[in-house]
Amino acid sequence: MENAWFPEAERCSGAEGLRVLEALGERIWPDEEVKLFVVKEGDPNAFAMPGRRIVVFSGLIDRARSPEMLAGVIAHEMGHVEYRHPMRGLVHQLGLGAVLTLVFGDSSLAGVGQLALVLSYSRDMEREADRRGIELLQHAGIRADGMSRFFEIIKKDVQNSVLSDLPEFLSTHPDLDARIAATRQPETGAPAMSDADWQLVRKICDSK
């Protein structure tokens, strides 16, 4: 079923980094099993899919300045998973028949870039995912300031024309300034991972 979503060739396979990422996911949401994938894509993007899967683009890892920023984005996507936003978004964009085809195989989508494009959420869904992501980080005892700090980096990139478009998970209203303000948190809590583990995550796609 996993190959119906995106080709295995697109996935990054650094085993040590993937183990660190999976451990981070388990810390953020210990009561649920969510599968994390990393793919070689330059955009600083991530998205959740039906089936409790989260895809992280290598460009997001490259752009994040700390593991807490990555943890913030992952927690946000876990919020989407909990509220079943991926399935609702896909049905809205593609129709139920196309989603069933996508889930059970014979997908017409060429890769994760196209899949990210068809996923879109309402402003209320984005607020829910932001809020739940912060709650998950706080409950895990992990520093929760990384989400807003990553939003700030993306805002500067857009202002400086480094990015022509916002990543999908930031492109829906409420506007970026409002999301930064709503997710701003104190610099308290445990780090998302050690410096050594962060370096393993940053090398997760080196084999590609």
Is the whole-model pTM more than 0.85? no
Q: What pLDDT score was predicted for residue 156?
A: 85
Q: For residue 106, how many C-alpha atoms fall within 13 Å in the half-sphere facing its CB?
A: 5
Cβ neighbors of 51 (< 8 A, separation 6 or more) are 1, 5, 35, 103
Token representation of residue 164: 């022509």
Cβ neighbors of 67 (< 8 A, separation 6 or more) are 24, 146, 191, 192, 193, 197, 198, 201
Indicate if 77 belongs to the active site: yes
Is residue 90 a contact partner of residue 118, using CB atoms and an 8 Å limit? Answer: yes
pLDDT in tens, 130-174: 999 999 999 999 999 999 999 999 888 877 766 656 676 666 545
Residues of the chain with pLDDT under 70: 1-9, 86-120, 161-166, 168-174, 207-208
Is residue 126 a contact partner of residue 74, using CB atoms and an 8 Å limit? Answer: no
Q: Nearest to residue 36, comparing CAs of 9, 74, 90?
A: 74
**Residue from 68, 77, 128, 168 carrying the catalytic annotation:** 77
Q: What pLDDT score was predicted for residue 125?
A: 87
Burial class (CB in 10 A: 0-12, 13-18, 19+), 188: exposed
Q: What pLDDT score was predicted for residue 100?
A: 44
d(CA 51, CA 89): 14
Q: What pLDDT score was predicted for residue 66?
A: 98
Q: What pLDDT score was predicted for residue 137?
A: 98
Name the residue type at position 115. L
Q: What pLDDT score was predicted for residue 9?
A: 53
Q: What pLDDT score was predicted for residue 87?
A: 59
